[in-house]
């Protein structure tokens, strides 16, 4: 069952096309990694899907419903929540407040979803009164995911959850992402750490110079002899 | 009528000087200065005190006033230089209020609100009334031309190009190995000096100054001239200043059209009009009448790294 | 000494609500609104109109003034600042100074520059030893304290207060998480305006009510907000207390004439010693234009 369908999407800035004719699908409760070298257009593509950037061409469908160009808040209401790259928690609010505030569009479900999030990420339960700005990098990513889950989405759009984290924390953050599957939530994950991401993802899509150059199951890609070349391409 | 026009042209000259100075600080460098009236007042009082109390001629009092203005501006910029524009805005505004308070309350020095009479005039007394007024206008015009010429030279010189680059992105010249902080401070100080020069010329023209002359509308009118004329463009702001003075003076005659208004309400109405005009100008034409020609990156790197040591 | 602290508390009661209002406006609308002093003047005249013209009691007049000022600020935001969203910072900054002069002189057009006062019963100060406590001072400190505690608690405890803090922290993320940021901006304008209006009422009790009253408070109010760490509401209260104390000290030991200049000097010292404010985070550079 496909959840997200992207058809021939093109996007860019100031008339310059960064991503061209990208088509992809994400199934229910599937974790798909979006990989590629620096400047391949991964974040641009995610922005165009999430509505923080208006697509130039193409369509985005969520559960069969067209959601092209909806802003992130409207898209979240439709069932796909964006987790931005760095500024993804309210630093001066406590963990509990961050979760509560993120349930704004659907406040009646707040208590139930909060319990679900805390069950998914027990580390957060012990830090409810802590300001989010003081959390460790891994816990912060958990909180960011938890906040997105408070809207009750079926799909999360994750923009490099491991950016700026130390190697030990990268693993921690990606484990938090895999927890999403337990909650039955699909995710499209933009990732710089290809190898680590492939170890956790179901499937992966490799982008280079704004186009899809490879697609396949994670195990298959992880075993590919040209894996290194795929990600060095464009960087060399 | 002629003497009225000469007087208006002369007072327009003071504003053009202020606007040129603000254009250096804000238009070219991006440093907000809400203390124009304060630096103007400082120049006027410094010059008046130098001639009246120390007995110096205007020819010496003027550079002295310029130095005082430069020092004050340097201090202000230094206080908040590493912070965002909002801080510089409130600091300069507070400074202008402090100068006015000091002028009002240090009676022994400034004669407070009664005003300070100035007897020293820069031009010879044997000129008749009309001729003297005309000659003074010539003096102010000369100052405007000198300032304009100097600022245009600065704008075209590497210094000016670095200033504008600092304004667009403080990191770029820094990566080219330029001392960004020093450039901004120097520009702000230079602007302060020019504002003080304008104050000095004003003081020896009106011959009686009081704190009332240096209230915030002076700052607003100067800002209007720069905003309407086009930030960063010296030619535009001369046009802007002329337009603003025309509106200012033109609205004086509103009393004839609206006879129900007394002097107090009329002046309030004029300030309302000026404010609305400024808000509208910012909204409708933020780049001003004559926008600044953009600098090219290549031009900048060519001048910002003269030794070529940072070029690939 | 006690007298000095008491007087400082009275002066802080005037500055603090507007400083919190300024901080709120800064955090939600994203620029330093220099018209905050003019909003205070609007509040003072709204209070005077209800109290002096219509004969309402002062407390009811104060409530009316808070509502009126809140709506005036909302209208000003819609007319002047909202169309400039996305414009460089200087455009908002200068527009706010221009707006401040427009409002002040509209007041002058409507009410003329003459000096007025509220219709207050003359009351004998309460005397404790050599401490003289005018009932007015108790009243204004009480009202300011109740209003500020209510606002600070509301920001902590109410869902809308939490949303305001979240949006103040990160507007873009708030929008992504589905918080209605446009309604919050409007709410912040009304609340910030109401607080400035309250400052207007309290200023009118201590100072002569004339259109220039607000401009004279602009520097102390903004200085208090910056001193406390711009954008932080509790910080703004603390900043107001410090500014007021410095004003009283200057009035006592230097000259009362320099009271309005104290805000600037305190701010200058603070910028030298602790640029991020008392309770604030360091400010990243680059918001100049």
Asked if C98's CB is within 8 angstroms of B272's CB, the reply is no
In a domain, A110, yes or no: no
d(CA C39, CA C197): 6
> What residues pair up with A66 in beta bridges, in sequence order?
A61
Q: In the prediction, which pLDDT does B298 show?
A: 45
Per-residue pLDDT tens for A152-194?
Answer: 888 999 988 888 777 877 887 888 888 888 888 899 999 888 8
Q: Quick one: pLDDT band at residue A97, thresholds 50, 70, 90?
A: very high
The residue range of the domain holding B6 is 2-213
CA dihedral C188, C193, C194, C196 (to 10 degrees): 130
- Asked whether residue A169 is assigned to any structural domain, the reply reads yes
Q: Categorize the per-residue pLDDT at B288 as very low, low, confident or very high, splitting at 50, 70 and 90.
A: low
With an 8 Å Cβ cutoff, are A72 and C179 in contact?
Answer: no
Give me the residue from A92, A97, A101 closest to C177, CB to CB.
A101
Residue span of the structural domain in which A74 resides: 2-86+154-232
CB A186 within 8 A of CB A27: yes
8 Å CB contact of A100 and C159? yes
Give the integer Cα–Cα distance in Å for C36 and C220: 11
Q: Is the pLDDT of residue A64 over 90?
A: no
Closest CA to C18 of C257, C285, C263: C263
Q: Residues B168-194: what's their mean pLDDT?
A: 76
Chain A residues with CB-CB distance to C178 below 8 A: 73, 76-77, 102, 104-105, 151
Output C126 or C79, whichever has higher pLDDT.
C79
Report d(CA B190, CA B192) in Å as an integer. 5
* CA A173/CA A150 separation, integer angstroms: 18
Average pLDDT rounded to a whole number, residues C84-101: 88
Verify whether the Cβ–Cβ distance B89 to C83 is below 8 Å.
Answer: no
Interface test with A, best of C175, C178, C182 (most A CBs within 10 A): C178
| Residue A204 resides in a domain | yes
Residue A59 lies in a domain: yes
Q: What is the mean pLDDT of chain A?
A: 85
Q: Which of C85, C90, C262 to mutate to test the interface with B (most CBs of B within 10 A)?
A: C90
Whether B220 is in a domain gets the answer no
CA atoms of C29 and C19, how far apart (whole Å): 15
Query: Using a CB-CB distance cutoff of 8 angstroms, which residues of chain C are in contact with residue A102?
Result: 177-178
β-partners of residue C127 are C132
Q: Total structural domains in chain A?
A: 1
* Residue C288 to residue B271, Cβ atoms within 8 A: no
Task: Please report whether residue B290 resides in a domain.
Answer: no
- Tell me if B237 is assigned to some domain: no
Inform me whether the pLDDT recorded for C74 exceeds 50. yes
How many structural domains is chain B composed of? Answer: 1
Q: What is the largest CA-CA distance in chain A?
A: 52
CATH number at residue A60: 3.40.50.300
**Percent of chain B beyond pLDDT 90?**
27
Average pLDDT of chain C to the nearest whole number = 87
Structure tokens at C31: 């620029």
Report C:26-45 residues touching B (Cβ under 8 A): 31-32, 34
Residue B99 C-alpha from the chain's centroid: 16
- Domain membership flag for residue A213: yes
Q: Domain for residue B72, yes or no?
A: yes
Residue A130 lies in a domain: no
pLDDT higher than 70, residue A231: no
Residue A114, in any domain of the structure: no
């Amino acid at each position: 069952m496909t959840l997200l369908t992207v058809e021939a999407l093109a996007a860019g800035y100031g008339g310059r096309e960064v991503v061209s004719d990208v088509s992809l699908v994400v199934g229910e409760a599937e974790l798909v990694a979006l990989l590629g070298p620096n400047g391949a257009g991964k974040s641009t593509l995610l922005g165009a899907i999430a509505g923080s950037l208006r697509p130039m061409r193409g369509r985005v469908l969520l559960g069969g419903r067209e959601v092209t160009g909806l802003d992130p808040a409207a898209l979240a209401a439709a069932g796909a929540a964006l987790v931005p790259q760095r500024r993804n928690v309210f630093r001066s609010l406590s963990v509990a407040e961050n979760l509560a505030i993120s349930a704004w569009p659907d406040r009646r479900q707040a208590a139930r979803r909060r319990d679900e999030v805390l069950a998914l990420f027990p580390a957060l339960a012990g830090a409810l009164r802590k300001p989010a700005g003081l959390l460790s990098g891994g816990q912060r990513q958990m909180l960011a995911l938890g906040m997105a889950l408070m809207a009750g989405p079926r799909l999360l759009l994750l923009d490099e959850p491991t950016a700026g984290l130390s190697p030990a924390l990268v693993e921690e953050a990606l484990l938090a992402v895999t927890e999403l599957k337990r909650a039955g939530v699909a995710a499209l994950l933009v990732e710089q750490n290809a190898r680590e991401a492939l170890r956790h993802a179901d499937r992966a899509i490799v982008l280079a110079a704004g186009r899809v150059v490879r697609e396949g199951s994670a195990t298959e890609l992880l075993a590919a002899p040209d894996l290194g070349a795929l990600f060095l391409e464009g960087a060399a | 009528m002629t003497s009225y026009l000469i007087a208006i042209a002369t007072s327009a000259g003071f504003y053009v000087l202020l606007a040129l100075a603000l254009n250096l600080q804000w238009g070219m460098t991006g440093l907000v200065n809400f203390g124009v009236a304060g630096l103007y007042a400082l120049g006027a009082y410094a010059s008046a005190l130098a001639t009246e109390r120390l007995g110096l001629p205007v020819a010496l009092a003027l550079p002295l006033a310029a130095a005082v203005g430069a020092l004050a501006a340097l201090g202000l910029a230094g206080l908040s230089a590493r912070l965002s524009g909002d801080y510089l805005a409130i600091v300069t505004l507070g400074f202008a209020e402090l100068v006015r308070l000091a002028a009002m309350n240090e009676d022994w020095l400034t004669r407070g609100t009664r005003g300070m009479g100035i007897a020293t005039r820069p031009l010879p007394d044997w000129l008749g009334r009309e001729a003297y007024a005309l000659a003074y206008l010539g003096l102010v015009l000369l100052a405007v031309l000198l300032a304009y010429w100097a600022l245009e030279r600065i704008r075209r010189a590497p210094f000016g190009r670095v200033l504008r680059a600092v304004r667009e992105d403080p990191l770029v010249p820094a990566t080219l190995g330029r001392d960004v902080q020093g450039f901004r401070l120097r520009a702000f100080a230079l602007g302060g000096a020019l504002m003080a020069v304008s104050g000095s010329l004003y003081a020896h023209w009106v011959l009686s100054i009081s704190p009332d002359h240096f209230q915030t509308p002076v700052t607003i009118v100067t800002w209007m001239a720069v905003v309407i004329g086009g930030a960063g463009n010296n030619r535009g702001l001369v046009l802007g200043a002329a337009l603003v003075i025309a509106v200012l003076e033109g609205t004086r005659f509103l009393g004839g059209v609206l006879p129900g208004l007394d002097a107090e309400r009329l002046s309030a109405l004029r300030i309302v009009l000026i404010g609305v005009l400024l808000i509208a100008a910012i909204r409708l034409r933020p780049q001003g009448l004559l926008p600044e020609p953009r600098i090219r990156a290549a031009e900048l790197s060519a001048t910002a790294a003269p030794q070529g040591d940072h070029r690939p | 000494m006690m007298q000095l602290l008491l007087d400082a508390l009275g002066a802080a009661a005037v500055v603090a609500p507007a400083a919190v209002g300024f901080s709120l406006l800064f955090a939600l609308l994203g620029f330093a609104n220099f018209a905050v002093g003019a909003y205070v003047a609007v509040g003072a005249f709204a209070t005077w109109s209800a109290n002096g013209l219509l004969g309402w009691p002062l407390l009811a007049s104060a409530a009316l003034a808070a509502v009126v000022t809140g709506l005036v600020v909302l209208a000003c935001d819609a007319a002047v600042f909202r169309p400039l969203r996305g414009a460089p910072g200087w455009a908002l900054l200068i527009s706010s100074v221009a707006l401040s002069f427009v409002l002040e002189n509209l007041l002058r057009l409507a009410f003329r520059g003459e000096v007025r006062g509220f219709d207050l019963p003359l009351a004998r100060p309460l005397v404790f030893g050599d401490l003289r406590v005018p009932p007015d001072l108790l009243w204004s400190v009480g009202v300011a304290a109740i209003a500020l505690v209510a606002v600070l608690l509301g920001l902590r405890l109410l869902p809308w207060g939490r949303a305001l803090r979240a949006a103040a922290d990160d507007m873009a993320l708030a929008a992504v998480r589905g918080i209605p940021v446009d309604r919050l901006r409007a709410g912040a304008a009304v609340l910030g305006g109401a607080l400035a209006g309250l400052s207007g009422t309290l200023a009118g009790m201590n100072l002569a009510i004339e259109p220039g009253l607000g401009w004279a408070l602009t520097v102390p109010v903004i200085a208090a907000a910056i001193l406390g760490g711009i954008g932080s509401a509790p910080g703004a209260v603390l900043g107001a207390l410090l500014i007021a104390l410095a004003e009283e000290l200057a009035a006592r030991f230097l000259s009362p004439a320099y009271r309005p200049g104290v805000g600037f000097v305190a701010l200058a010292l603070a910028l030298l010693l602790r640029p991020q404010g008392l309770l604030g985070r360091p400010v990243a550079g680059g918001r100049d234009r």
